[in-house]
Amino acid sequence: MMARKRRSTTEINTAENASVPKRRYTSAQRTHLEEMMVFNQKKCLSWYHKYTNDVGELGPEGMEKFCMDIGVAPEDLVMLVLAWKMNAKSMGYFTSAEWLKGLTELQCDSVKKLQSKLESLRLCFNDPLAFKSIYRYAYDFARDKDQRSMDVETAKLMLNLLLGKQWKLFQLFADFIDQSKYRVINKDQWCNILEFSRSISTDLTNYDIDGAWPVMLDEFVDWLKNKGENS
């Protein structure tokens, strides 16, 4: 009896592929698929100008319309991530260069494409390194550009957005700020608040008073301890 000839992997794959019916697309469907896959800078800029005012600026009114089109609230944290991707300099404003930078990286030139990326943008908050970068970026993004430091009211709003749900001591920190002498928060204090929220336990047992923490946080810890003793 003659030995059976073994079929090569190529022959097997060819036979299997031949048995699978190929999907046929119409010309219109192929064009639509190509448009969805290929980023078009000209189309992206045209989309930008849909939201600009008479002087070609995308400001608060255009931002509101943009948010409405992509289906998110202006205060949604995903908008902060998007601004971070664009490296936008001013809250409520996008320049054409910032728009192109961020959306080219995301390969988005339409509402539908950006909507498909919103969930992945939100996932940036689950990445400790990305979150730290967004948190640091938020300071310069949100502060008044005429001031070197951020006023405490703006700081509390931003801290609530960024840390309010994950830092159990946030509300107590906000209460401490309200009764304190502090009217502004500088960049060093801002960055250390994040490190404090990540590394110091709620009961403060691992807080080192001789550590390199800003005086503000030393005073916060003292205030908390006094509050606990008097309650």
Question: Is residue 9 situated within a structural domain?
Answer: no
Q: Are residues 133 and 219 in the same domain?
A: yes
Domain boundary (93, 125, 157) is at 125
How far apart CA 157 and CA 223 sit, in angstroms, is 21
Q: Are residues 94 and 152 in the same domain?
A: no
Return all residues near 191 (Cβ < 8 A) that are at least 6 apart: 135, 136, 139
- In three-state form (DSSP H/G/I as H, E/B as E, the rest C), the secondary structure along 37-73 is HCCCHHHHHHHHHCCCCCCCCECHHHHHHHHHHHCCC
Domain that includes residue 45, residue range: 38-125
Q: Are residues 86 and 115 in the same domain?
A: yes
pTM (two decimals): 0.81
Helical axes 170-179 vs 152-163, angle rounded to 10° = 170
Q: Are residues 147 and 118 in the same domain?
A: no
Question: Is residue 42 situated within a structural domain?
Answer: yes
pLDDT tens per residue, the chain (231 residues)?
A: 444 555 555 554 555 555 545 566 565 545 444 555 699 999 999 999 999 998 889 999 999 999 999 999 999 999 999 999 999 999 999 999 999 999 999 999 999 999 999 999 999 999 999 999 999 999 999 998 888 899 999 999 999 999 999 999 999 999 999 999 999 999 999 999 999 999 999 999 999 988 889 999 999 999 999 987 655
How far apart CA 11 and CA 14 sit, in angstroms, is 5
Q: Are residues 45 and 63 in the same domain?
A: yes
Of 109, 100, 99, the closest CA to residue 35 belongs to 109
**For 146, which DSSP code?**
T
